[in-house]
Structure 1
Amino acid sequence: MIAELGHYALVLALVLAVAQATVPLLGLRSGDPALLGVAKPAALVQFAFVTLSFAALTACYVQSDFSVLNVAENSHSTMPLIYKVTSVWGNHEGSMLLWVLILALFGALLALLGRNVPAALHAAVLSMQAIIAIAFYLFILLTSNPFARLAQAPVEGRDLNPLLQDIGLAIHPPLLYVGYVGFSVSFSFAAAALLTGRIDAAWARWVRPWTLIAWIFLTLGISMGSYWAYYELGWGGWWFWDPVENASLMPWLAGTALLHSALVMEKREALKVWTILLAILTFSLSLIGTFLVRSGVLTSVHSFATDPARGVFILMILVLFIGGSLTLFAWRAPMLRQGGLFAPVSREGSLVFNNLFLTTACATVFVGTLYPLALEALTGAKISVGAPFFNMTFGPLMVPLLIAVPFGPLLAWKRGDLLGVAQRLLTALAAAVLAMAVTFALQGRPVLAPLGIGLAVFVIVGAAIDIVERIGLFRLPVAIAWRRAVGLPRSAWGTAVAHAGLGVMLLGVVGESQWNIERITAMKTGDVATVGRYEIVFDGLDQRQGSNYRELLVRFTVREGGVPIATLTPSKRAFTSREMSTTEAALMRHGVGQLYVSLGDLEPDGRVAVRAYDKPLVLLIWIGTLVMSVGGGLSLSDRRLRVGAPRPSKARLAAQPAE
């Protein structure tokens, strides 16, 4: 009964989405306020029904109702409760239900928080959101029904994919989906603006908070997914340029460009056409990522769908939304009025420079990811585009962008003084040169490491100089500087923190890629392996029974200078229901680095294959992304960055002369 209730609620959500999509557009055409007003209650009730549907599927998992096909294929009665819940989105059907739940949530938030948006534009945005929802409701109901029943329920389920039975996968997909789906709001605002002709600084002000929310969550989602792959897959890497990873990186790059472009539009009413196009492309890339992961064209732990019908349906969605929005853009964009002019050397110019390199980097990842798939589809030939291609193309594009990052916030709007800004950044340059010299003196090789460390320090110190200049530190009395710091807009703090986080992440990338020490060996009890300055001693084997798996643990003692400092217990888990095994790495933190130990196969002579790494600075990769997200949160909390244009105060309204 619970499954049927969830299915029925999803059908009702589809009906409401149809009403939300069509009635406000009729009101927009006729100018009828009553028809426009349908959008808000429809969005709220639609969210209620999708929430009910998702809650019903969750209840089926928690109760281990194996008469539901989706539950029988992706759960097990002995799984811990947390993994029964995460199993809801650990499969194709459930993950798509999570997608529409988040989409409906954004629609409801738009309905509640868009009171300052003009009624026509507000209704048009909600209508666009509903059109997206209709496509995905139909996709779920016609090809991916999560509530399908089995004629005869099995006694036990098949279990969740063991790789997904991890706390990281409880967090990673929801964060990632909020990022993906959050960009639908920017897309809907762009399409609605093209329909209504309302594209100005206020429009950019309404779009930026939603874009920032999506960017923050996508950053956190990518970061969490990277850390999960790092410790769960046992390979010791944090980024593999896998097509599924690239599918999330592309909208992140485009979304970062959109944030900066919308800032120019808000401040100077410039880059209107480009900002609208970026809003369309960013969500389009999110849809392409969905197609890559859910269509079955890729083989990955994330790829749940293998039915060609699903791939064709998602491809039709891509054609509808990407093709339709770009057609609308081509029709309406020439009618847009040009905004304010600015000199090439200005803050606007620096943000255009930022956009140029971000979009070029995004295009590089796009081509490298999709070219092999297109070539195979057209000719049958299979080629592999891997890390060497992306490192040689993406990396060089990031260098000039990172050099320019500290300059942008210090340049004035409309016309800037590049020489004056360069003089203010001399301290950052000196710190970078000092860091390069120290790195070279300590390490000697490779040459890229000192350059990378120097660039990271330049970005971090440059971000600090931006704040120092704004508050007048070292130029004004400390009390005045403190008051200016307290009164500084949070968006300024957010920009500096986010840029500093980028530098921190770069420190981690350089440290992990240039100074990583790897040792692969086969060990038995009593053997000792040296990894960097550490010795790991094989103490013995243990076995234990988990809730739904058997686990082989190996005990290692870690010594530094002959002195024991830690005990590590990496393991291999065997899941009998799925006939699969997973590797659980053991990690020991030292500063912002880690000693990483994982297990391979057990050999016939009793030895165990051991893979050990010493990874200096590796934690800075994820610390940096967290700092970037905190910077985004600070900007979002700025009272000036509210959803919608600020309302005039009652005093100002009273002072206005009557017409």
Structure 2
Amino acid sequence: MITEVGHFSLVLALLMSILLAVYPMWGAARNDIRMMSLARPLAIAMLLFTLIAYASLTWAFINNDFSLSYVAQTSNSLLPVYYRITAVWGGHEGSFLLWITILALWTGAVALFSRPMPLQMVARVLAILGLVAVGFYLFILLASNPFERMLPFFPVDGRDLNPLLQDIGMIIHPPTLYMGYVGFSVAFAFAIAALISGKLDSTWARWSRPWTLAAWIFLTIGIALGSWWAYYELGWGGWWFWDPVENASFMPWLVGTGLLHSLAVTEKRKIFQSWTILLAIAAFSLSLLGTFLVRSGVLVSVHSFASDPTRGLFILGILIVTIGGSLLLYALKAPGLKGQGQYHAISREVLMMGNNVFLTAATMVVLLGTLLPLVHKELGLGSISIGAPFFDQMFTYLIVPFVFLLGVGPLSRWKKQSPAALKNQILLALGLSLSAGVLINQAYSTFSYLATLGSVLACWIFVTSVQEVVQRTGKAFNLNALTKLTRSHWGMIAGHVGFAVTLMGIALTSQYSVEKDVRMAAGESAELAGYQFVFKGVKPLNGPNYTGTSGHVDVFDKGQLVASLDAQKRFYTVQRSMMTEAAIDSGISRDLYVALGEQLDNGDWGLRLYVKPFVNWIWLGALIMALGGLLSATDKRYRLSKVALAKKSKQYTVSHTASSPEVLK
């Protein structure tokens, strides 16, 4: 009965989304306050019905209702309760229900936290979100229904959750990633609403920017969690391997980063409106493209969810309608968009636009490398592979000018910057960065030019960030001066420093990581990068739905015990699959990593040993970047009093619709 309630709630949510897509937009066109006022209650109703549907499916998993086809395919009675809850998004149908639930959450958040905004703008934004939701509610009800029954015959137990997903990383990674993916729908809705109204000014950018920051924060954390999960769960020691589905999340992040900077320029200088709108459309379009790639069956990946081409065609239709419609509107409206500000060829505006160009170029590289093999195969030209060397080489070319502009941009003035005024700062930063980068790499026995380049670039960002703070606070550099800097400013600094930390981690661990495959019996040892790995033997392992073997390894540094590691091989009895669970001792400057291989003859075991310097800086930098986004999103100019925002809202509405007798009633 509860699952039927969930199914019916999805139907009601679809109905609410249709009404939300039609009535507020119609009301905005007619300047009818009563119709526009329906936007918020309809958005909240859509959210409530979607939450009921999601809760119903969760109840079915917790109570092992294997009469539901989806539950039978992705769960098992031996599965721990916390994995049964997260198994809701362990397959295609449930993960898509999570997707539209998050879309409903974002829509509800806009409805609840946009009270001071002009009613006309809110109505259009929510209507566009409702229109996006219509397509996806139709998709889940017609092609991907998680509430389908297997009556009258159904299994007494389920096929179990994919062992790869039975991990804490998969508990938090998908919801966080989806919050970022879907969050760009809000930026998209603001952009389309602004295009329709024809009023693209600094006020629009100020409304849109906190929502864009929130989506970017979630996507940053989600990508970092996915990288961290791949690092410790897959057992091969890698943190990123340019998997097509990983690329699908990376592309909207690159464009979203450019969008944040472009919104800042539009808000501050009232220019680049056309470019900002295009980036907002591109960010959400790439999110939809990622959804298509994951669920269409065109990709083979540990992350992909579907192999049904019918589903892929449905999502492709949504993608074409969304992108095509928005670009058509953009083509009609963009020629009339003209910036109000003036700027010189050398200025902060131009430098920030330059970085946008490099971010866009990086996105095109990832898009080309991801889609070209698919297109090549579909055209009957055979299979080709574009792997990590291509991406690594192209990003090496792009990262140098990008990082240079990233450091110089904040030091520059708006409107016009004299190159001579920056000369001393640039030379000082360059000297310090080169010295620090070379010195850092002297700590390793082998010298790597790529690692040195990455270190120099990371140091460049850090030094120029310090210079920018000193420049802002003046010669009287003290605590009082620092406290006067806004949260948005500190957010920018944290974002740039976080990127520098990640870049340093990538450069050092990519070039200086060492590994060794060894054959060891109990009591034998192996040396790697100055560490002594001593294999103590194995013992049986029993879990709730698996059995296996645990191998114990002690690690010594100069005779001192520094780590005791237990690497596991697990056999999942229902799925009949073997999984490797690596053992890792993490530190700020290195990771010791052991993966247990197969048992060999004479009782020996194969082991893979790694020493990975500074690998944790990759994820530490992502967290610092996310913290920077949070600081910027909570800046006081986005937290104005309701009275102040209401005044701005009234001024916007009166200036834009004063000629309408309907609004002035």
TM range (shorter): over 0.9
Q: What's the CA shift for 1:16?
A: 0.4
CA contact (8 A) 1:64 1:71 kept: yes
Whole-Å separation in 1 of the counterparts to 2:575 and 2:435: 55
Equivalent in the alignment of 1:495: 492
Inter-CA distance 35–27: structure 2 relative to 1 (3 Å threshold): same
1:37-88 residue CA offsets vs partner (Å, 9 max, x unmatched): 1111000111011011111111111111111111111111121221111101
Q: What's the CA shift for 1:338?
A: 3.1
Equivalent in the alignment of 2:99: 99
1:424-446 residue CA offsets vs partner (Å, 9 max, x unmatched): 34443232122133235433512
Equivalent in the alignment of 1:458: 460
Inter-CA distance 418–59: structure 2 relative to 1 (3 Å threshold): farther
Equivalent in the alignment of 1:153: 154
Q: What's the CA shift for 1:559?
A: 1.4
Whole-Å separation in 1 of the counterparts to 2:48 and 2:419: 53
Q: What's the CA shift for 1:421?
A: 2.8
CA contact (8 A) 2:411 2:464 kept: no
Inter-CA distance 117–649: structure 2 relative to 1 (3 Å threshold): closer
For 1:318-357, list aligned pairs within 5 A.
Answer: 318-357=319-358
For 1:94-493, list aligned pairs within 5 A.
Answer: 94-151=94-151, 152-443=153-444, 445-472=447-474, 475-476=475-476, 481-493=478-490
Q: What's the CA shift for 1:243?
A: 0.4
Matched, 1:528 2:530: no
Question: Which of residues 531, 544, 549 in structure 1 aligns to 2:546?
Answer: 549
CA contact (8 A) 1:205 1:643 kept: no
CA contact (8 A) 1:574 1:580 kept: yes
Whole-Å separation in 1 of the counterparts to 2:411 and 2:281: 30
Aligned residue type for 1:70: Y
Equivalent in the alignment of 2:592: 595
Unaligned runs of 5+ in 2: 651-665
Question: Which of residues 615, 620, 635 in structure 2 aligns to 1:618?
Answer: 615
Whole-Å separation in 1 of the counterparts to 2:70 and 2:464: 52
CA contact (8 A) 1:205 1:644 kept: no
Equivalent in the alignment of 1:6: 6
Greater Cα shift, 403-412 or 610-619: 403-412
Aligned residue type for 1:541: V
Unaligned runs of 5+ in 1: 654-659
1:131-188 residue CA offsets vs partner (Å, 9 max, x unmatched): 1101010110001101111112311111100000000000100110000000001111
Aligned residue type for 2:235: G
Q: What's the CA shift for 1:642?
A: 4.2
Equivalent in the alignment of 2:569: 572
Equivalent in the alignment of 1:510: 507
Whole-Å separation in 2 of the counterparts to 1:495 and 1:30: 41
Identical columns (%): 47
What count of residue pairs does the alignment treat as equivalent? 648
Q: What's the CA shift for 1:649?
A: 8.8
Q: What's the CA shift for 1:422?
A: 3.7
Whole-Å separation in 2 of the counterparts to 1:441 and 1:639: 45
Whole-Å separation in 1 of the counterparts to 2:420 and 2:506: 31
Whole-Å separation in 1 of the counterparts to 2:630 and 2:538: 46
Equivalent in the alignment of 2:583: 586
CA contact (8 A) 1:115 1:644 kept: no
Whole-Å separation in 2 of the counterparts to 1:312 and 1:211: 29
Inter-CA distance 160–342: structure 2 relative to 1 (3 Å threshold): same
Matched, 1:539 2:536: yes
1:6-42 residue CA offsets vs partner (Å, 9 max, x unmatched): 1110100000000000111221222211111111100
CA contact (8 A) 1:365 1:394 kept: no
Whole-Å separation in 2 of the counterparts to 1:227 and 1:278: 28
Q: What's the CA shift for 1:215?
A: 0.5
Q: Calculate the TM-score normalised by the size of structure 2.
A: 0.95
Q: What's the CA shift for 1:522?
A: 2.0
Equivalent in the alignment of 2:636: 639
CA contact (8 A) 2:50 2:101 kept: yes
For 1:42-61, list aligned pairs within 5 A.
Answer: 42-61=42-61
1:513-546 residue CA offsets vs partner (Å, 9 max, x unmatched): 1111110122221221111111111111111210
Q: CA RMSD in A?
A: 1.8
Q: What's the CA shift for 1:453?
A: 1.1
Q: What's the CA shift for 1:648?
A: 6.1
Equivalent in the alignment of 1:75: 75
Inter-CA distance 648–162: structure 2 relative to 1 (3 Å threshold): closer
CA contact (8 A) 1:536 1:559 kept: yes
CA contact (8 A) 1:89 1:95 kept: yes
CA contact (8 A) 1:206 1:642 kept: no
Inter-CA distance 12–566: structure 2 relative to 1 (3 Å threshold): same
SS in 1 for 2:146: coil
Whole-Å separation in 1 of the counterparts to 2:642 and 2:261: 19
Whole-Å separation in 2 of the counterparts to 1:498 and 1:587: 28
Aligned residue type for 1:437: V
1:383-425 residue CA offsets vs partner (Å, 9 max, x unmatched): 0000011111122101111122121112111112333234234
Whole-Å separation in 2 of the counterparts to 1:644 and 1:332: 33
Whole-Å separation in 1 of the counterparts to 2:641 and 2:49: 27
SS in 1 for 2:379: helix
CA contact (8 A) 1:271 1:339 kept: no
CA contact (8 A) 1:121 1:198 kept: no
CA contact (8 A) 2:430 2:460 kept: yes
Equivalent in the alignment of 1:19: 19
Equivalent in the alignment of 2:556: 559
SS in 2 for 1:574: strand
Q: What's the CA shift for 1:485?
A: 1.3
CA contact (8 A) 1:116 1:644 kept: no
Whole-Å separation in 2 of the counterparts to 1:65 and 1:644: 49
Aligned residue type for 1:489: T
Q: What's the CA shift for 1:323?
A: 1.1
Q: What's the CA shift for 1:645?
A: 9.8
CA contact (8 A) 1:511 1:617 kept: yes
CA contact (8 A) 2:116 2:645 kept: no
For 1:24-43, list aligned pairs within 5 A.
Answer: 24-43=24-43
CA contact (8 A) 1:406 1:462 kept: yes
Whole-Å separation in 2 of the counterparts to 1:240 and 1:252: 17
Equivalent in the alignment of 1:657: none
Inter-CA distance 355–255: structure 2 relative to 1 (3 Å threshold): same
Aligned residue type for 1:309: T
Greater Cα shift, 47-56 or 116-125: 116-125
Aligned residue type for 2:590: G
Q: Calculate the TM-score normalised by the size of structure 1.
A: 0.96
Inter-CA distance 273–537: structure 2 relative to 1 (3 Å threshold): same
Whole-Å separation in 2 of the counterparts to 1:353 and 1:418: 16
Q: What's the CA shift for 1:111?
A: 0.9
Q: What's the CA shift for 1:457?
A: 1.0
